[in-house]
């Protein structure tokens, strides 16, 4: 065991347990989704090489504990047969988490599954000064807690009112959590305080005559922490409407962390040290450059 590179094993998803010569294998799961036949293979591996059970992690991944050192190569081969891979641990981009989004959830405003796959392809396991968590939540209900991530994305919708279609029923006012819509039925008047809108899209979804139209987009939070230190991520930019711009922002953020982060320092702590405006200015320049 003296020649075992535990650091390299952990990098490849095999984390040393308290039990001697045993490892807990973390799988690469994208957006919390795994095919049924792949899940059957996970069960088979847990029975054959583990202790007959699996652990569901807090970030939508699966771990198979009690893997023996001598079985690691065999387990990798078994995973490959089912199109599965070990997950990434250590100082790099971790598992991409996502809720079910607009394809499944009536509240969803963005296709979180599609976005999670794009994030996985572009950013997963990228080397950084410390672990970096990306999370995607489909709407303001915030099931995936975007603000807890190093970079979190939340679906949003910017509404616009079409006067000619409005019947002044008042449903939009009733469902608006930010109380930025006021409807006077008898006078047939509607006021919308766009400045304080939280882009939840509820007015668009509830309107029976499509008098509210919505433009979907992405609200991005930076520097969230939920561990030894808890910090709520900050929104440094207005809502982003194109995926191209969203990816520009993420690329610039990761490059910023590579440039300014110290080894073992979480992204939020880096921002506290060098200044949040430094990142904000960098991102605004990237978006302005087009």
Question: How far, in Å, CA of 147 to CA of 61, rounded?
Answer: 19
Q: Is residue 279 part of a domain?
A: yes
DSSP 165: G
State how far the Cα of 75 lies from the Cα of 78, in Å rounded to an integer.
Answer: 5
**Structural domain containing residue 259:** 97-157+216-289
Structure confidence at residue 96 as a pLDDT band (50, 70, 90): very high
33, 170: one domain: no
In 105-210, alpha helices (H): 112-123, 171-175, 202-206
CA distance 48 to 52: 8
Helices and strands, counts by H and E, the chain:
10, 12
Quick one: pLDDT at residue 3? 78
Mean pLDDT over 82-88 rounds to: 95
pTM for this structure?
0.94
Question: Can you give the CATH number for the domain in which 35 is found?
Answer: 3.30.70.3340
Q: What is the CATH number of the domain that holds 262?
A: 3.30.413.10
Same domain, yes or no: 129 and 269: yes
Length of the chain: 290
Asked if 262 and 270 count as a contact pair (C-beta separation under 8 A), the reply is yes
pLDDT tens figures, 118-173 = 999 999 999 999 999 999 999 999 999 999 999 999 999 999 999 999 999 999 99
Q: 190 with 55, same domain? A: no
Q: Which helix (H) or strand (E) holds 43?
A: helix 36-49
User: Could you give the percent of the chain with pLDDT greater than 70?
Assistant: 99
Residues 147, 224, single domain; the answer is yes
Residues 174 and 121 in one domain: no
Distance set, CA 241 to CA 4, 156, 219, 244, 263 (Å): 48, 9, 9, 9, 34
């Amino acid at each position: 065991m003296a020649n075992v590179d535990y650091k390299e094993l952990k990098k490849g998803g095999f984390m040393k347990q308290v039990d001697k010569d045993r490892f807990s294998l973390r799988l690469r799961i994208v957006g919390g989704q795994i095919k049924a036949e792949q899940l059957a293979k996970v069960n088979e591996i847990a029975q054959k090489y583990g202790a007959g059970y699996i652990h569901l992690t807090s970030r939508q991944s699966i771990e198979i504990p009690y893997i023996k050192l001598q079985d690691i190569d065999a387990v990798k081969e078994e995973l490959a047969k089912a199109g599965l891979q070990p997950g990434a641990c250590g100082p790099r981009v971790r598992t991409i988490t996502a809720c079910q989004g607009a394809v499944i959830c009536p509240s969803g405003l963005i296709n979180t599954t599609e976005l999670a796959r794009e994030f996985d392809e572009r950013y997963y396991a990228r080397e950084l000064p410390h672990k970096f968590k990306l999370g995607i939540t489909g709407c303001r209900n915030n099931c995936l807690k975007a603000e807890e991530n190093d970079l979190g994305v939340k679906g949003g919708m910017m509404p616009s009112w079409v006067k000619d279609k409005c019947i002044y029923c008042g449903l939009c006012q009733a469902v608006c959590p930010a109380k930025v819509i006021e409807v006077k039925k008898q006078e047939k008047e509607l006021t919308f305080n766009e400045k304080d809108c939280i882009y939840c899209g509820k007015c668009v979804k509830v309107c029976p005559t499509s008098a509210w139209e919505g433009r979907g987009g992405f609200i991005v939070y930076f520097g969230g922490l939920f561990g030894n230190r808890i910090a709520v991520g900050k929104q440094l930019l207005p809502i982003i409407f194109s995926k191209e711009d969203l990816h520009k922002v993420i690329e610039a953020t990761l490059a910023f962390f590579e440039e300014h982060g110290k080894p073992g320092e979480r992204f939020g702590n880096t921002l506290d040290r060098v200044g949040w405006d430094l990142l904000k200015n960098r991102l605004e320049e990237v978006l302005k450059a087009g």
